[in-house]
Structure 1
């Protein structure tokens, strides 16, 4: 029997995520649980187009959720969580990018620019909330589509550098 396709987010009703959302790396060694209400009742998280996030995600954009560190629980069953110190950041603060050393799956990022917060890499999750913003819009590819109702910022979507692109809401 052929394998069935996996990962259809529509197979996961958002009502089951009313109090928390969990996901894992590809090999299952690392599980991340976000304990937060209202993850799907309003736009949350952001899409990032900066070069570093694109490289970490292995895609043209990264889907991230900036959340309080005490709302994130990471279980590292097999001890595969490793961290890379990324010193090439806009703020000048290093970004500590954690990933699974077995399958390479990005897990989280932390930086002094956002004290007490964690950037969870949302590709691990069965469902991803609609983003509230896009950051580093200047770095978008010209062929990318636009997301209705999602503001796009030239650089950062949070902090003093935020300035919206001329298009978008």
Structure 2
């Protein structure tokens, strides 16, 4: 057991991620590499408060990054990546939620709602870019605060259903 706390994002200077970054599941079987030089030069990603994302994250909010598939490389060294088809969605399109079957770590999601894109679960990475938006703001708990500079949308933050709350 380590003597020092683990996972301090501030121990990783963002300059190390000028061309992208790599993260992994807890057991290290699955690694995800993002090849994008704008991860930390502007706001990226979103926080999601929908029930399904909260369940996958195991928390009151999920931190996600919607990005072009060609900018992402997923390696499944031990063949532990499994996918669950989530049919209980607002759009009616299934969301294919991938995770590590050994340690349970969520990895990514894909849906026909965003062709050519993949939704990465940012908790597997050493740093998380400052989010640009949060979706399903109507589903936030009353005790949750806001995030300065992050636009909150009633339901979806991308697509025709978006309606800003702030």
TM-score (norm 2): 0.98
Q: Residue 53 of structure 2 aligns to a residue in which SS?
A: helix
Q: Which residue of 2 aligns with 1:103?
A: 103
Deviation above 6 Å: which 4+ runs of structure 1? Answer: none
Matched, 1:54 2:54: yes
Matched, 1:20 2:17: no
Could you tell me how far apart the structure 2 residues matched to 1:16 and 1:4 are? 22
Could you tell me how far apart the structure 2 residues matched to 1:113 and 1:3 are? 45
Gaps of 5+ in 2: none
Q: Residue 98 of structure 1 aligns to a residue in which SS?
A: strand
Q: Which residue of 2 aligns with 1:119?
A: 119
Q: State the Cα deviation string for residues 29-79 of structure 1 (Å, max 9, x = none).
A: 000000001110110000000000000000000000000011110010110
The aligned length equals: 166
Q: Which residue of 2 aligns with 1:139?
A: 139
Could you tell me how far apart the structure 2 residues matched to 1:21 and 1:120 are? 12
Q: Which residue of 2 aligns with 1:40?
A: 40
Q: Give 1:2 deviation, angstroms.
A: 5.6
Q: Give 1:3 deviation, angstroms.
A: 2.2
Q: Residue 92 of structure 2 aligns to a residue in which SS?
A: coil
Q: Which residue of 1 aligns with 2:82?
A: 82
Could you tell me how far apart the structure 1 residues matched to 2:144 and 2:126 are? 23
